[in-house]
Amino acid sequence: MVRWCLWMGMIMLTTAASATAGDEITPHVVLGIHGGIGEDKKDMTPELEVKVRAVLNAALKAGKAKLDAGGSSLDAVEAAIRIMEDDPVLNAGKGAVFTHEGRNELDASIMDGKSKKAGAVASVTIVKNPISAARAVMEKSKHVMLIGNGAEIFATKQGLDIVDPSYFWTEHQWQAIQKIWQQEAEQKKKQKDQSAVDPQELPPLAKPHYGTVGAVAVDAAGNLAAGTSTGGMTNKMHGRLGDSPIIGAGTYADNDAAAISCTGHGEFFIRYSVSHEIVAQMKYKKASLQEAAEDVINRQLKAVNGEGAAIVLDKSGQFTTSRNSEGLYRGWITADGKIQVRIYDQ
C-alpha cells in the first residue's frame, strides 16, 4: 500500500510538472511585459528573433526609466506599451493585423490597482497609440470604454497623436491576410465545383495570428498597474473585439492580489474572465500567483483548447508567466535594472 501511494504521488508530481508551461517566480521585478504568443518555433527566423528581443528590451528600459524618475506604475505600463505599439514587428499599433475587410482595428485597456479605475478603447483606426487613449478615457472621462468613432473623436479632443489609417499598414501583415483571402477563395471554388464535398476534407485555413502586447508594473508606493494593446485576430470580422480591451478578461490590476495582462484566443479569455479569475483565486483561495495562473491557463483554458498566456506581478515584486502555447514573447526587469527576455522556453 505504501509503495502504491508513493508511485501515485510520483505520477501526480510528474503530471503537474509536465502541465506547467510558465516561468519560475522571479522576485524584485518592477516591470514585466509580453509581446504576444508570437510565431510558432518552426516559423521563427534569426532576423525576427533579433527584432523581437530588441523591442522587448527597449520597452523594458522605457518603462523602468519612468519608475526611476519617480513615475507611477501607470506611467511605466503606458511607456512600455507605447514602445511596442510603435514597432511593426508586434501585433499592436503599427504592426496590427488586418480584418477580413482589409482594415486595421485596434484595441487597448489599462487599469490602476489602487483605485480600480480603468480605461479602454476598441476598434480605433486612427489613434497612433491606443494605450494612451485608454488611459485618457480612465483619467479624463466618466466612462471605462469608448469604441470606434466615439473613441477617435475623444482621443482627438485630448490632443493625442492621430494618424492616417495607412500608417498601420505593414507588408508582412498584408501578406498574411492575402494568404488567408486566397485560401478562402480556393475553398469557395472547391465547394462550388463539388457541392457535395465534406467540409472536413477541405484544407484548413492558415492559423490566425493571436498577437497582443501588454505590461504589468509596481511602483515605489507599492501600487500595481496593468495594460494591454492589440490589433486583434488576423481576418477577424469588422467590429470584433477580443479580450484585450475588456477589464477582467485581458487586463486586471488589484493591489490586494496582482496585475495581469493576457494574450491569446480572446474569445476564451472573455468567456473565462481570465485576468479576474487569477486575481479571485489569489484573494479568496489564497493561491500563489503561480498556482492561480497555472490553474486558469493550463487547466481551465487548456481543457477547452483556449490557447494563450498571462503575465502576473504582485506588489511585492514577485513575477511569473503561464502559457499553454509554444511560445510567449516576454521579458521583465528587476529593481536593480537586470533584464531577462525570453521567447520560447528560454
Q: Which of 326, 320, 311, 287 is nearest to 37 (CA)?
A: 326
pLDDT in the model for residue 204: 52
Contact call for residues 24 and 320 (beta carbons, < 8 A): yes
Q: How far, in Å, CA of 113 to CA of 225, rounded?
A: 5
pLDDT band at residue 192, thresholds of 50, 70 and 90? Answer: confident
pLDDT band at residue 200, thresholds of 50, 70 and 90? Answer: low
From 212, 228, 320, 321, active-site residue: 212
Residue 110 forms part of a structural domain: yes
Q: Report pLDDT digits (tens) over 304-316.
A: 999 999 999 999 9
Q: Which of 104-108, 330-334, 342-346 has the least mean pLDDT? A: 342-346
Q: Report pLDDT digits (tens) over 80-115.
A: 999 999 999 999 999 999 999 999 999 999 999 999
229: alpha, beta or left? (left if phi > 0; alpha if psi -120 to 50)? beta
In order, the DSSP letters of 238-280 are TT---STTSBTTTEEE-TTS-EEEEEE-HHHHHHTTHHHHHHH
Q: How far, in Å, CA of 127 to CA of 81, rounded?
A: 14
Amino acid identity of 17? A
State the chain's mean pLDDT as an integer.
Answer: 91
| DSSP bridge pairs for 146 | 121
Residue 275 forms part of a structural domain: yes
Tally of domains within the chain: 1
CATH number at residue 98: 3.60.20.30
Q: Report pLDDT digits (tens) over 149-170.
A: 999 999 999 999 999 999 999 9
Q: Is 212 a catalytic residue?
A: yes
pLDDT band at residue 191, thresholds of 50, 70 and 90? Answer: confident
Residue 185 forms part of a structural domain: no
Which is higher by pLDDT, 197 or 186? 186
Residue 252 forms part of a structural domain: yes
Residue 182 forms part of a structural domain: no
Q: Which of 267, 265, 204, 238 is nearest to 100 (CA)?
A: 238
Residues in Cβ contact with 76 at an 8 Å cutoff, skipping those fewer than 6 apart: 30, 31, 63, 64, 66, 67, 215, 217, 219, 225
Q: What share of the chain is helix, strand, coil (3-state, %, to 5)?
A: 40, 20, 35
pLDDT in the model for residue 194: 66
Residue 200 forms part of a structural domain: no
Residue 62 forms part of a structural domain: yes
pLDDT in the model for residue 4: 29
| DSSP bridge pairs for 335 | none
Q: Count how many Cα atoms sit within 13 Å of the Cα of residue 264 in the half-sphere of its side chain.
A: 32
pLDDT band at residue 319, thresholds of 50, 70 and 90? Answer: very high
pLDDT band at residue 180, thresholds of 50, 70 and 90? Answer: very high
Residue 178 forms part of a structural domain: no
CA of 212: how far to CAs of 71, 285, 329, in Å? Answer: 25, 29, 10
Mean pLDDT value of segment 212-220: 98
For 146, the domain range is 22-171+205-342
